[in-house]
Amino acid sequence: MNERSTHARSRGVDHFMTGIFYIVGGSAILLLLVLATYIVIKGIRSYYPGVMGFTDAGIGNQLFNTVYLVVLSLIVSVPLGMAAGTYLSEYAKQGKLTEIITMSIEALSSLPSIVIGLFGYLVFILMTGAQSNLLAGAMVVTILSIPQITSTTRDALRALPDDYRTGSVGLGASTFQTIWHVLIPACIPRVVTGIILVAGRGFGEAAALLYTTGQSTIIDWSNWNLASSTCPLNPLRPGETLALHVWMMRTEGSVVQHSTEIANISSMILVIAVLVFNLAARLLSARIVKKNRGA
């Protein structure tokens, strides 16, 4: 009798807890849906002709700056992060040094981005004596990205079967040849997934860029002289990004015509872009899993 009631009670608790977990999980989805829908609807409603244009009334320049900044930062962060990840997985021996490096990378990835932004301001603006510029912003985003690219690369390499290494070394390949020709190609899909996520984060980064990229955007789309401060591709010109623009439009810039609309539409683009980046990463990793199952 007693045993039976214990059993019934544990079943009751089970049902109850399952319900709780459903509610918690459901609210996470609900929160995202509500937030995204609200921002997208606000964005669509705020549309006015010329908003996507490349003038002061539009956000084309800011969008371009954002993409350009992410590309600049990836050019630096991908090779460095992959090299560091490869070192940790393939060369580093167990020991104090490796532990310190691993801990530093973890600490670096959890630093508040505003702190990295200030550090970037100190190093890339004050110490170089430069004006605010896109490259300085890209370097700050690079610092933010390196830990994740490093750990993604390290984990992707460690997940590869040891058979790849013995198979290659057994044919007389050096360690470096093995890494370069066998291991890195085999883990590229996973690393690319990580890079997409990092790019998504860089796309929406604002706090870290407050002090470095500058808040003006004067681009002359007919000027292709790289040394000129109005050339779109000059990395040393100031270049406000989309996320910064949102912040500007709700603070100092709120006197600008259409500032509310611009902030709404920019937010919409940012949200959609980050969702797309995340979905792309998901799809890619789903394909990798399928491929690894031999399908």
Partner 1 sequence: MSDNKDKIVVDHMDLFYGDFQALKDINLRMPEHEITAFIGPSGCGKSTLLKSLNRMNDLVEGCKITGKIEIDGQDIYDKKVDVNQLRKQVGMVFQQPNPFDMSIYDNVAYGPRIHGIKNRSALDEIVERSLRGAGLWDEVKDRLKRNAVGVSGGQQQRICIARALAVEPDILLMDEPTSALDPISTSAIEDLAMELKENYTIVIVTHNMQQAVRISDRTAFFYLGEMVEYAPTDELFATPKNPKTEEYITGRFG
Name the site residues for partner 1 (rule: CB under 8 A): 93, 161, 163-174, 177, 181-182, 185-186, 294
What's the min distance (Å) between Cβ of 160 and partner 1? 9
What's the min distance (Å) between Cβ of 172 and partner 1? 4
H or E stretch including 117? helix 113-120
34 vs 171 by CB, closer to partner 1:
171
> Per the structure block, which two tokens stand in for 240?
């406000």
Exposure b/e, 241-251, CB count within 10 A at least 16 = b:
bbbbbbbbbee
62 vs 168 by CB, closer to partner 1:
168
What's the min distance (Å) between Cβ of 197 and partner 1? 23
Query: Nearest-CA neighbor of 51 among 280, 290, 268?
Result: 268
How far is the CA of 175 from the CAs of 104, 171, 183, 186, 288, in angstroms?
A: 26, 11, 10, 15, 26
CA torsion, ordered 75, 77, 79, 83, to nearest 10 deg: 180
What's the min distance (Å) between Cβ of 163 and partner 1? 3
53 vs 167 by CB, closer to partner 1:
167
CA torsion, ordered 167, 168, 173, 179, to nearest 10 deg: -140
DSSP 50: T
Query: Nearest-CA neighbor of 140 among 116, 123, 122?
Result: 116
DSSP 182: I
Q: Which residue has the tokens 């996320």?
A: 243
Residue 164 sits at φ, ψ, to 5 deg, of -65, -40
CA gap 107, 95 in Å, rounded: 18
